[in-house]
Amino acid sequence: MATRPTREHQPRSGLGPKKKRRDRLSQRARTQPTWALGFGDAVWWSRLTQPDQHCWTDADTMDKLQELTPPTDAPDAKALACYGLLVRPGPHQLDPRWLRFVSGRPVSAVTLACLAWCSARLAAHGCTAFLLIWDKASWHRSHAVRHWRRQHNQQVKRGAAGGRIVVCHLPSKSPWLNPLEPKWVHGKRAVSEPDRLLSADELEARVYAYYGCKSETPLVMPKKVA
């Protein structure tokens, strides 16, 4: 008797149209000289959990990675949150990789600060529109974020500085559609320390150095978020 396929192997009717929309908007952005195309994502960098390491070596001599234990009085957080952006290189002479760490966790209010930072940076390079492609995290598509984006685009239309922000949300559970995802994996392997607990400052500095990004002041999470 044939076995029933698992849910992971069942067809996903909504994936095709959403992927086509992403590809269509990406193609349009590439043909507009004053548009910027970016893939965004938020990621956690753990100071304790060690990433999987792959290499060709003798099994008897292979390094064993394990989760490190922080001292009870450690002042640093166990993990650091970070917003990342992979920007299409083009006539704007933009840096291809942007990073901004968060003092806390990624929430709607912090996302607004990140979008404002991106808009100002793009405007300085003469960009009139920014196509942002990222996932459906709650802090990416909350009412506060959508309201801020509408207001921002209306102000730009009236002549305010900056560029319009057009967002394309990726389908749920489709990390392969975002080229940032594998870059996080490689970065975590590169900055890890197998036998020493890195401080928050050390980890942040290693991440910035690995991706070749300028260090930025962390975005601060407000005490109260609506």
CATH assignment of the domain containing 195: 3.30.420.10
Give the separation between CA 188 and CA 90, rounded to whole angstroms: 28
> Which pLDDT does position 225 carry in this prediction?
47
Higher pLDDT, 171 or 102: 102
Q: Which of 51, 54, 45, 47 is nearest to 82 (CA)?
A: 45
The arithmetic mean of pLDDT across residues 94-111, rounded, is 91
Res. 41 pLDDT band, cuts 50 70 90: very high
Give the separation between CA 182 and CA 66, rounded to whole angstroms: 22
Q: For residue 89, is it within any domain?
A: yes
The mean of the pLDDT values for the chain is 82
Pairing of strands 164-169, 219-220: unpaired
List the structure tokens of 34.
């004053």
Beta carbons of 75 and 103 less than 8 angstroms apart: no
List the structure tokens of 149.
């984006």
Res. 70 pLDDT band, cuts 50 70 90: low
The pTM assigned to this predicted structure is 0.78
Q: Is the pLDDT of residue 7 over 50?
A: no
The total number of structural domains in the chain stands at 1
Beta carbons of 117 and 84 less than 8 angstroms apart: no
Q: For residue 20, is it within any domain?
A: no
Q: For residue 151, is it within any domain?
A: yes
Higher pLDDT, 115 or 7: 115
Using a pLDDT cut of 90, give the percent of the chain over it: 46
Q: Is the pLDDT of residue 111 over 50?
A: yes
Q: Is the pLDDT of residue 51 over 80?
A: no
The arithmetic mean of pLDDT across residues 1-28, rounded, is 62
Parent domain of 167: 33-47+76-98+106-214
Q: For residue 26, is it within any domain?
A: no
